[in-house]
Amino acid sequence: MGVGAAGGSGDPTASEEYVRVAAERDDLRDAVETAEERADDATSAATEKEAALEARADELDALSGELDSRQGDLEAREAAVTATENQIAATQIKNGVWTVGVDIEPGTYRTAEPVTSMCYWAILRSGTNGSDIVDNDLPEGGFPTVTLSTGQDFDNSCGVWSKQ
């Protein structure tokens, strides 16, 4: 009974099951090779993108450094401009009554713009409530000039005066 059935006669690689399993194996090998190729391609693309991102990050770092430098320069310039503006403001006299040595610095002042209509200015001895006039004028044009000393008041209605 069965020597032929048990021992089999013929090539086992020719059986349907063997051929089917071998085909599945080959399909799986192909799928693995395709997946490995895709993974290699994805790894290469990722590596290239990473290098591009690193280069861009380096560019951005350089630009950031340049902006930091420019910001420092701008802050220094702004401080200088502010100091100049403050100095100009400190050496200007606007309309009103000012005490020399307290509100304004002593020195020689000239109107910043030409006087175009009659105005009034007066140098008064401080503490006299305007009753002791040292000098005054009603200019109608030009650039009036005054010299102010500590202990005087300056009554101005001629616009802005700048220290000379």
Residue 3 inside a domain? The answer is no
**58-105 residue pLDDT tens:** 999 999 999 999 999 999 999 999 998 888 878 899 999 999 999 999
Q: How far apart are CA 86 and CA 136, in angstroms?
A: 28
Residue 9 inside a domain? The answer is no
Q: How far apart are CA 121 and CA 131, in angstroms?
A: 14
Q: Are 115 and 140 in contact (CB under 8 A)?
A: yes
Closest CA to 121 of 134, 103, 136, 107: 136
pLDDT of the residue at 8: 56
Q: What's phi and psi for 162, nearest 5 deg? A: -120, 140
Are 19 and 78 found together in one domain?
A: yes
What domain count does the chain have?
2
Q: Are 2 and 9 in contact (CB under 8 A)?
A: no
Last residue of one domain, picked from the residues 37, 69, 88: 88
Residue 7 inside a domain? The answer is no
Residue 28 has pLDDT above 60, yes or no: yes
Are 18 and 84 found together in one domain?
A: yes
Residue 2 has pLDDT above 70, yes or no: no
Residue 95: both structure tokens together: 């309309």
Last residue of one domain, picked from the residues 72, 88, 104: 88
Are 44 and 29 found together in one domain?
A: yes
- Per-residue pLDDT band at 127 (split at 50, 70, 90): confident
Residue with tokens 């560019």: 59
Are 38 and 83 found together in one domain?
A: yes
Closest CA to 153 of 89, 102, 87, 88: 102
Residue 36: both structure tokens together: 């490995």
What are the strands of the beta sheet with 92-93, ordered from one edge? 92-93, 161-163, 107-111, 145-148
pLDDT of the residue at 26: 94
Are 115 and 80 found together in one domain?
A: no
Are 69 and 116 found together in one domain?
A: no
Residue 5 has pLDDT above 80, yes or no: no
Last residue of one domain, picked from the residues 41, 63, 88: 88
pLDDT of the residue at 3: 43
Q: How far apart are CA 79 and CA 83, in angstroms?
A: 6
Are 80 and 24 found together in one domain?
A: yes
Burial class (CB in 10 A: 0-12, 13-18, 19+), 126: middle
Are 78 and 98 found together in one domain?
A: no
Q: How far apart are CA 137 and CA 121, in angstroms?
A: 6
Give the domain extent around 50.
14-88
